[in-house]
């Protein structure tokens, strides 16, 4: 990015956070001169059309809830309905739609160089139950709006633009999360994806087939020039920075640790407090110790969201308590060090309480960082468009995390209210949505015309 001034004639309201970020990010122009020079038009989103698109993806006939949310588990009837709608809208925009063997949908706008790697835009249309009306939906909506703007401008980009709707990003019905993008990027075999079952025992493969969205392996995305995903923030960094748009530097790596504490069971009326080796008390001290360690250190965070207590009777001292420790930090190294510190603390507590503790890593997510060149492009476009933006970090997995292992990927975040997400109250202010759409469309256009990223 080039300083904070931007081009003459553009209104510039670059906040301090952005200036600082520019200093951090800003090296040379990230795009090859060819692309930068050829940013031929400035795309301005059509507010009415964008709003209609977002409403079409959250109306009652595609899983919209009476309280303003959306309940649309992957491969459900509601998911079929919204996929049909997505295909219809893509068709209306002149896009060719294909479906791969993981149920991922791609809607392609050809470029002038049909052999060139495409620019990938989009997100996912499945939700948690009940979910909000922005998560995933906004990312698909902004991608379609971008294509519509290119159509409006009658612009033929050099590269193809592909709007994608990934299957089962949420993992709410068929865990794990980010399944469709995981298949395409090689994180999972497609057989694994097909064999995932929901709570009722239905298999994802069968359900995709049932709703008519089990496609061909040959339709999978092969490679891409750059990938751009917009998403609501699911946090409060943008509110705190009073910015509308976030340029995401990275998504925090995460580890899940199954922590099993084994003590001595017995009747609650039995031994006095001195004579116990009690899994529940030790586990409680561990939960508190993890929090205290994160407060002390300030550079990682922990969450305990599940706890299984055995045997689970009011008047029986549990002999075993198992909880999951979700731990996140800024990078893998820090995370590893902090986890080691926390588990040391767990060991100490176990010794003091006379119980055993075993910490087993059940899941880890540590994607490569997002592409610096694309981040710089996003920052530059935001600066040029006078957008209040800030560099942010992602705290939650997204399909782009898988994509970053396959090619240059980046994300934009849209400001949300109070960090609410995955719930019916999820809300992104309209101004932030429009502002994100502006940055998104113009960055996509720049990428679609770029010859190389440097």
104 versus 416: smaller Cβ distance to a copy of itself: 416
Q: In the bound complex, what is the minimum distance in angstroms from residue 164's beta carbon to a copy of itself? A: 23
Q: In the bound complex, what is the minimum distance in angstroms from residue 342's beta carbon to a copy of itself? A: 12
CB neighbours of residue 13 within 10 Å:
11
Q: In the bound complex, what is the minimum distance in angstroms from residue 305's beta carbon to a copy of itself? A: 5
Cis peptide bond upstream of 216, omega within 30 = no
Are 421 and 54 in contact by the 8 Å Cβ rule? The answer is: no
Rounded to 10 degrees, what is the CA torsion of 119, 182, 407, 232?
Answer: 60
41 versus 306: smaller Cβ distance to a copy of itself: 306
51 versus 291: smaller Cβ distance to a copy of itself: 291
Q: In the bound complex, what is the minimum distance in angstroms from residue 130's beta carbon to a copy of itself? A: 12
CB neighbours of residue 273 within 10 Å:
7
User: E-assigned strands of 39-182?
Assistant: 96-99, 105-109, 119-124, 161-166
- Which residue ranges make up the site for a copy of itself (CB under 8 A)? 234-236, 252, 254, 256, 266-275, 278, 280-281, 283-288, 291, 294-295, 301-307, 309, 312-318, 324, 326, 328, 363, 394-397, 419-422
45 versus 132: smaller Cβ distance to a copy of itself: 132
241 versus 283: smaller Cβ distance to a copy of itself: 283
Q: In the 8-state DSSP scheme, what is residue 369?
A: P
Q: In the bound complex, what is the minimum distance in angstroms from residue 379's beta carbon to a copy of itself? A: 23
Classified as helix, coil or strand, 296 is helix
Could you give the CA distance from residue 421 to residue 109 in angstroms, rounded to a whole number?
Answer: 31
254 versus 377: smaller Cβ distance to a copy of itself: 254
Half-sphere exposure of 65 (CA within 13 A, CB side): 18
Nearest to 410 by CA among 427, 428, 393: 393
Could you give the CA distance from residue 418 to residue 239 in angstroms, rounded to a whole number?
Answer: 8
Q: In the bound complex, what is the minimum distance in angstroms from residue 129's beta carbon to a copy of itself? A: 11
């Amino acid at each position: 990015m080039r300083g904070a001034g931007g081009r003459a004639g553009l209104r510039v309201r670059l906040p301090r956070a952005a200036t600082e970020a520019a200093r951090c990010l800003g090296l040379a122009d990230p795009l090859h001169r060819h692309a930068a020079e050829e940013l031929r038009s400035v795309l301005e989103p059509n507010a009415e059309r964008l709003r209609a698109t977002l409403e079409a993806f959250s109306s009652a006939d595609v899983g919209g809830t009476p309280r303003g949310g959306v309940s649309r588990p992957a491969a459900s009837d509601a998911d079929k309905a919204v996929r049909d709608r997505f295909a219809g809208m893509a068709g209306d925009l002149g896009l060719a739609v294909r479906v791969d063997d993981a149920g991922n949908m791609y809607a392609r706008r050809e470029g002038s160089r049909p052999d060139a790697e495409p620019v990938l835009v989009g997100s996912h249309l499945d939700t948690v139950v009940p979910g909000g009306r922005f998560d995933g939906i906004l990312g698909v909506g902004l991608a379609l709006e971008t294509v519509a703007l290119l159509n409006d401008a009658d612009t033929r980009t050099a590269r193809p633009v592909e709007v994608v709707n990934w299957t089962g990003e949420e993992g709410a019905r068929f865990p794990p999360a980010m399944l469709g993008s995981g298949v395409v990027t090689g994180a999972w075999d497609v057989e694994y994806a097909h064999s995932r079952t929901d709570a009722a025992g239905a298999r994802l493969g069968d359900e995709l087939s049932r709703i008519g969205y089990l496609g061909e392996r040959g339709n999978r995305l092969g490679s891409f020039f750059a990938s751009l995903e917009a998403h609501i923030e699911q946090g409060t960094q943008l509110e705190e920075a009073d910015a509308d748009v976030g340029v995401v530097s990275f998504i925090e790596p995460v580890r899940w640790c199954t922590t099993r504490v084994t003590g001595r069971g017995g009747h609650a009326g039995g031994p006095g407090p001195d004579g116990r080796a009690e899994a529940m008390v030790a586990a409680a001290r561990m939960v508190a110790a993890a929090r205290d360690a994160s407060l002390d250190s300030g550079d990682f965070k922990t969450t305990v969201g599940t706890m299984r207590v055995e045997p689970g009777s009011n008047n029986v001292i549990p002999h075993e308590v198992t909880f999951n420790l979700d731990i996140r930090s800024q990078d893998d190294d820090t995370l590893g060090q902090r986890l080691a510190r926390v588990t040391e603390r767990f060991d100490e507590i176990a010794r003091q309480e006379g119980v055993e503790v075993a910490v087993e890593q059940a899941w880890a997510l540590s994607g490569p960082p997002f592409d610096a060149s694309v981040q710089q492009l996003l920052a530059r476009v935001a600066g040029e468009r006078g957008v209040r933006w800030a560099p942010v970090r992602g705290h939650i997995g997204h399909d782009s995390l898988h994509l970053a292992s396959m090619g240059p990927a980046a994300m934009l975040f849209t400001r949300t209210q109070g960090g609410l997400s995955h719930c019916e109250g999820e809300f992104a202010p309209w101004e932030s949505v429009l502002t994100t759409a502006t940055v998104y469309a113009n960055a996509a256009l720049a990428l679609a015309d770029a010859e190389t990223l440097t």
